[in-house]
Amino acid sequence: MDPALVLAAHGSHKNPDSARPAFDHAATIRETNAFSTVREAFWKEEPSFREALRTVAADEVYVVPLFVSEGYFTEQVIPRELRLEGWDPGAWNSDGLQATAATFGVRDTGQQVHYCGPVGTHDAMTDVIVRRAETVTGDPAVGPDTALAVVGHGTDRNEHSAMAIEYHADRLRERGRFDEVHALFMDEEPEVDDLTDYVESDDVVLVPLFVADGYHTQEDIPVDVGLVEHGAPPGAYEVPATVDGHRVWYAGAVGTEPLVAAVILQRAADAGADVAGALGAIRADLGATAVADGGPQG
């Protein structure tokens, strides 16, 4: 039997949009027939992390966390709930950005699991951020005379929380496509509240490095930036909106971009999955044959 794929996401009991990217990307990958089974699994919804592998008949399973960064969920919660024998975060040999994959047995099912790093730290996510900027502006050549701000949560509780945002901002800056590239945060400096203090360009594209749209991306950030007044309905901002003389295109969560399905497959490919045909098909369908191919990390 061909191997299976499990997408591990957070989910939410309160926000119906939280699980949507996992279901959407799973559906896209399922259509490629690259895996015998493609299963979604969640921390806060059903099917749960704990039961996911028990619902998969394949002896070999690739697990890809649909999370932005390495940290508590990817290093503790998911491996524990999947019952990976001998799991240790050191198996990834990562300082917060380099996780690729490590293989473990499962205590009760006997399956072999290739546990992959999170999608948010893969090199290919840099291309997805660019695609998000193209999508929201409607301009496939967006970049010149434009500032790009990549926004993350940031927190003192997880030193890896800001690393992915800064990593992709650095890579985008090195490419030179945008006149300016900034890494901004909700809960640490430099803060997204002060967006217009950091940018000089008249046009700004704001891309939150979040997996799903929810309270932070649809209410907090738009209010913090000044796209809407406090108390406005979720998602009630204009695109573009004018803030302190700047035109701001706000993209919403990067994880909702369809090209993320290619990043998930790339994670599995880096772990040894034979998915070259599926990757090519998804890129062709999305008109993205030259992107989302970050290659192995490390």
Question: What tens digit of pLDDT does each residue of 111-147 get?
Answer: 999 999 999 999 999 999 999 999 999 999 999 999 9
Name which CATH class applies to 4-121+257-285: alpha beta
CA distance 111 to 63: 12
CA distance 122 to 126: 8
Name which CATH class applies to 125-256: alpha beta
Output the average pLDDT for the chain.
93
- Average pLDDT estimate for 245-253: 96
Residue 17: pLDDT band (50, 70, 90) is: confident
Torsion of CA 192, 195, 199, 201, to 10 degrees: 120
Identify the residue with better confidence: 135 or 13: 135
- Look up residue 161 and give its two tokens: 């929380």
Name the 3-class secondary structure at 97.
coil
Q: List, by residue range, all CATH 3.40.50.1400 domains of the chain.
A: 4-121+257-285, 125-256
- pTM here is 0.94
- pLDDT over 70, % of the chain: 95
